Structure 1
């Protein structure tokens, strides 16, 4: 949607937005599980150019993000471009016509001058490979495909997964079920959540005087940007800040859980920042309830009526909840087969030559291709910061294309290699390189132990570079 808004500003009107789902919103349309909220302030999780004065609280529930997405689509007249229930099979650059051919599963082929991959990092749910899971006789609920028609009231349930989704789900599940067993593979850093409602008076103030909400956003943006930069990217220089964050997490755990053994089981064995942290004031306290049980031995197998742990203990259950995250590296980067010039397969090339993309957007031998969820693209913690710096890059790049009356752009091999080298050098100071991340099992790392999702810079620096990158880094013709 952000890319389409930017293209409109540049005068492009012939746009098709292809979406495999039945409505817009991406994550905030697909995910509807109980307890779903943003884990960065709502004021930050929105476009700078389109603030929303009507958030109900600082950390808004997921339904409000879906409403916001609908509002943006309507205000900027984007629905006219959208084709829902449309699954893309793959894309190939046609050298003869100098266009992209986009194949749909229906057999239809679309021809386009420019192709933008806006599939997100977290769009391919990961199902656990556990022996016997297909034989479970009870009801299986997927966090990314929640069935509100099934009641968990009074059920004997288990949940697999304690990532950010699990942290939000577990307290809600505990409110309904008679017994809840939580299967944890890796503890997560959970920080206290400073949350508060925005009442009608605050909403009216934000709507009438937008500068008040802008000030709140500037404050939350600056705080998050500074903390991520010094705690993660400048770990070498500011290790005590990372340690302080870990101590806050430890104090939060101590105040919520009095049982030493339970507290030890929930304590991460890796440095803060190696794995996606999250915020909750209810997660730890949930484990104090007598009907909530934590299992950390690992799962041996699933039987029709329950789960057998590796220590031989068995929990009889009738409902199984899967909060096992997404497959980022194997089936999502890229999310579809993409073949560029000289037959280069983007996924194969990335896996054989390191994940890389110039400014987190373009790749050599892939003319007129913008890939938004790509290596070194994610800056800060709010995805909107990433989208907006990318919109700035598109504005400058497509503007130059129009100024020259040209048809194609392609980043040069030299510029791409120099950017990759710079990102890898910056990462040498990060918690990913210098911290203890071996036991984190973080999706931020690929199978080679690299962590190329994040752009290891401040948001301010990433934005600034979009106005200064050399246009000579592109071959424009």
Structure 2
């Protein structure tokens, strides 16, 4: 007879900040039987894999950290990537998580066992790990996206993606081509432009680039954070800045004039930084600020004033053995850098493994049929005991750390309820999920994404159904809902209760 004993009560897939935050919350709440599984050889997720030149956080450091683990040692207002990696390692040490992490392990598949109310998680090596509850904490900036350009296999030079930077490649004196002008590119481009002999930037869609209020952390701010209430004040001001620049401006576009103010600032920044009017015109976005992820930089735009930097906006038609061909000319390059982002709203990314729920239903198939959706961004009907930190309609544009803490609040309410009632199966009701999904769709009218100009943005916010599965609400509302959603929106069941009801003899057999 199949054993009902599980290897772990909870399996967390991912040891980035989502996984770390979830693990800390579980330990604080008394849920100690868990394991974290990650395919990397270290913690930090995005900040482990991404080590390209110039990498840094794109919101103030005061917000890009857990509210319960704030530190005063950030070197800059916008911390560099190495400090975020070190912060992840610090949190793992302080909260004793290292013995609970399995590195170098890739989850290939997970199947829900309806009879025993458990998940059978299979690694790429064929090992099976069983757990009662499965938490997806793999983030969204996980799987690098490569451009589909003919001839890539013919290129004889060196190629790399910004998310998997190859530090063995010396760019000094090289002719370098970089495809993409998104959030990673605008950090990489100023850093490498000063070393290469020639840099050609291949742009499909210009990005809104705003000035970044960055600087070495001022001594006055460090002093402020050491006095009572100082950390609270700096974090509150930072959180307000983040809230205004995305959640409020994006989701309440028709109510608040923040986007128009931001656009004026962005265009003024462009005029101040770029000398050549023709180049400036090519760098001017034709869509509303917020249609796609904007960024902040004080160096990116002025890099195009350099004699060794060329902006190419003609479409790439093919990659050749020695470079790239556009509709206008052929560009010789020695090194090709793909700054083409990640699979965000695409198959194979949410989650990063093959997930089969109740009755064997595949999650990607369910989403293909019903569109991307998840109740409060956490749960999907038909997929019991599975929770995701960054699911569809879970992210509203605030700091990921704020989101992680909200979503773990939601999950812990469910786990505590299950423990109180010795439940072994937790599942959101179809009615609750449908209600939430319809509510999110009904709020589109005030969002920036539905302006006509967004059709020109080539934004990864839009999925293949034309939806934008972002949480259409302010951060305070999202936090309140995480703490107050009705537990009756879920069903709680027990495998032992079902056995005793349907098969009285089973009680003896399983004892």
TM-score (norm 2): 0.90
Is the aligned partner of 1:79 residue 2:95? no
Q: 1:150 to 1:210 in 2, by over 3 A?
A: farther
Instruction: Give the match for residue 320 of structure 1.
Output: 336
The answer (yes or no) to whether the contact 1:235–1:434 under 8 Å persists in 2 is: no
Matches of 2:160 and 2:114 in 1, distance apart? 46
Higher Rg of the two aligned structures: 2
Q: Which moved more, 1:132-141 or 1:56-65?
A: 132-141
Is the aligned partner of 1:234 residue 2:269? no
Q: Which moved more, 1:326-335 or 1:17-26?
A: 326-335
User: Secondary structure of 1:352's match?
Assistant: helix
Summarize the alignment of residues 64-75 of structure 1 with structure 2, pairs less than 5 Å apart.
Answer: 64-75=83-94
Instruction: Give the match for residue 126 of structure 2.
Output: 107
User: Secondary structure of 2:267's match?
Assistant: helix
Is the aligned partner of 1:369 residue 2:389? no
Matches of 1:149 and 1:380 in 2, distance apart? 35
Unaligned runs of 5+ in 1: none
Instruction: Give the match for residue 231 of structure 2.
Output: 213
Instruction: Give the match for residue 294 of structure 1.
Output: 311
Structure 1, residues 283-324: CA drift from partner, whole Å, max 9, x if none? 01000001100000011111111111112x111111111111
Summarize the alignment of residues 119-134 of structure 1 with structure 2, pairs less than 5 Å apart.
Answer: 119-134=138-153
Summarize the alignment of residues 33-432 of structure 1 with structure 2, pairs less than 5 Å apart.
Answer: 33-198=52-217, 202-203=221-222, 206=225, 208-209=226-227, 211-238=229-256, 240-311=257-328, 313-328=329-344, 329-432=346-449
Structure 1, residues 242-293: CA drift from partner, whole Å, max 9, x if none? 1221111000000111221111100111110000000001101000001100
Matches of 1:229 and 1:140 in 2, distance apart? 36
Cα offset for 1:379? 2.5
Cα offset for 1:204? 6.0
User: Secondary structure of 2:31's match?
Assistant: coil
Cα offset for 1:202? 4.7
The answer (yes or no) to whether the contact 1:301–1:307 under 8 Å persists in 2 is: yes
Q: 1:227 to 1:279 in 2, by over 3 A?
A: closer
Cα offset for 1:199? 5.3
The answer (yes or no) to whether the contact 1:187–1:266 under 8 Å persists in 2 is: yes
TM-score (norm 1): 0.97
Matches of 1:435 and 1:81 in 2, distance apart? 49
Is the aligned partner of 1:449 residue 2:475? no
Q: 1:230 to 1:296 in 2, by over 3 A?
A: same
User: Secondary structure of 2:178's match?
Assistant: strand
Matches of 1:39 and 1:245 in 2, distance apart? 16
The answer (yes or no) to whether the contact 1:276–1:442 under 8 Å persists in 2 is: yes
Matches of 1:7 and 1:17 in 2, distance apart? 12
Matches of 1:435 and 1:231 in 2, distance apart? 17
User: Secondary structure of 1:69's match?
Assistant: helix
The answer (yes or no) to whether the contact 1:53–1:204 under 8 Å persists in 2 is: no
Matches of 2:351 and 2:49 in 1, distance apart? 20
Q: Matched residue pairs, number?
A: 473
Instruction: Give the match for residue 477 of structure 2.
Output: 461
Cα offset for 1:201? 6.9
User: Secondary structure of 1:444's match?
Assistant: coil
Structure 1, residues 173-200: CA drift from partner, whole Å, max 9, x if none? 1010011100001100000011121256
Instruction: Give the match for residue 8 of structure 1.
Output: 27
Q: Which moved more, 1:144-153 or 1:352-361?
A: 144-153
Q: 1:210 to 1:352 in 2, by over 3 A?
A: farther
